[in-house]
């Protein structure tokens, strides 16, 4: 059995394949970002899946593409966790942007962007990924990601910058009690995922002036801080993967046009194309 996984901070999608490429099963676990979670949490999340735990002795190879795996330390942490579970497996851990590049099914150069719970951007020369910006995580980076938009919404709500009707709707859909927010941000696991949950509100209410401004400002920030770091971005396609990219495809088209950038593909689930 061969396992292929595409992981962010929120969820991990797994596909099990036979040697001939036939699908055996498909499953999901919670996110497995080694930059956010401890080894114990990573272990528990994998073992919490019956599909994975019950078949762990059958697994011969693992190809894992994940957020937080762009450093040698991140790769090492996950490889060690997987080795304790899948004891007979040959394990390969790569950063999530490589899965995105493979999902686009092209050997041509492209700028590859990820917009999900977090965000990332790389230049793919057809063989190798090149990074210009080292991510410092969701607190100060991750422009235009789910957690970025969640953070913007909470700030605007508490700074009274959100239109009154939308603020009332936001408060009815989410628990915006200050104590609840502070606990989730500073006491509970997965503050980035918590913020991304709030960020969904902007997508559901994007067809108004406030929603459009917040979304476009975030995408412009991403373009300026990430995409335009690469000189190649003016000449080659800029492609996107992830749920945020999927739901904001119309807004991405607007921003790409504003900056004179050529839009490539937008793929929601890379693992289904790898």
The pLDDT tens digits for 42-85 are 999 999 999 999 999 999 999 999 888 878 899 999 999 999 99
Backbone angles phi, psi at 2, to 5 degrees: -115, 130
Residue 26 has pLDDT above 90, yes or no: yes
Mean pLDDT computed over 180-187: 96
pLDDT at 227: 97
153 vs 83: CA distance, rounded Å: 40
3-state secondary structure of 264: strand
pLDDT at 272: 60
Which of the 8 DSSP states describes residue 133? S
82 vs 23: CA distance, rounded Å: 21
3-state secondary structure of 62: strand
Sign of the Cα pseudo-torsion (100, 101, 104, 105, in order): negative
Among the ranges given (47-51, 234-238, 270-274), the one the predictor scored with the smallest mean pLDDT: 270-274
Q: Please, what is the Cα angle at 66 between 2 and 227, to 5 degrees?
A: 135
Among the ranges given (60-74, 168-182, 199-213), the one the predictor scored with the smallest mean pLDDT: 60-74
The answer, as to whether pTM is greater than 0.85, is no
pLDDT band at 273 (very low <50, low <70, confident <90, very high): low
Burial of residue 77 (CB within 10 Å: 0-12, 13-18, 19+) is: buried
Task: Indicate the average pLDDT of the chain.
Answer: 92
Instruction: Count CA within 13 A, CB hemisphere, residue 167.
Output: 11
pLDDT at 261: 97
pLDDT at 253: 98
Burial of residue 188 (CB within 10 Å: 0-12, 13-18, 19+) is: exposed
pLDDT digits (tens, 9 = 90+) for 103-135: 776 678 999 999 998 999 999 888 888 888 888
């Amino acid at each position: 059995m061969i396992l292929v996984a595409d992981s962010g901070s929120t969820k991990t999608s797994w596909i099990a394949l036979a040697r001939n490429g036939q699908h055996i099963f498909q499953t999901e676990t919670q996110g497995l970002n080694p930059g956010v979670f401890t080894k114990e949490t990573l272990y528990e999340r994998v073992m919490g899946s019956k599909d994975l735990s019950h078949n762990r002795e059958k697994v011969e190879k693992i190809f894992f593409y994940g957020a937080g795996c762009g450093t040698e330390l991140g790769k090492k942490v996950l490889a060690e966790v997987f080795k304790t579970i899948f004891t007979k497996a040959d394990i390969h851990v790569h950063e999530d942007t490589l899965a995105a590049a493979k999902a686009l099914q092209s050997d041509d150069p492209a700028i590859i962007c990820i917009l999900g719970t977090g965000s990332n951007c790389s230049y793919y020369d057809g063989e190798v990924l090149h990074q210009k910006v080292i991510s410092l995580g969701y607190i100060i980076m991750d422009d235009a990601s789910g957690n970025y938009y969640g953070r913007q919404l909470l700030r605007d709500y508490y700074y009274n910058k959100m239109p009154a009707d939308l603020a009332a709707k936001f408060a009815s859909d989410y628990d915006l009690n200050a104590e609840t927010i502070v606990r989730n941000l500073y006491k509970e696991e997965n503050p980035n995922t918590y913020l991304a949950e709030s960020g969904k509100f902007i997508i559901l209410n994007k067809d108004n002036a406030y929603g459009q401004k917040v979304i476009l400002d975030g995408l412009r920030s991403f373009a300026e801080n990430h995409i335009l770091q690469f000189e190649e971005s003016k000449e080659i396609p800029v492609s996107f993967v992830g749920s945020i990219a999927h739901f904001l495809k119309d807004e991405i088209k607007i921003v790409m046009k504003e900056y004179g950038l050529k839009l490539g593909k937008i793929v929601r689930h890379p693992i289904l194309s790898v």
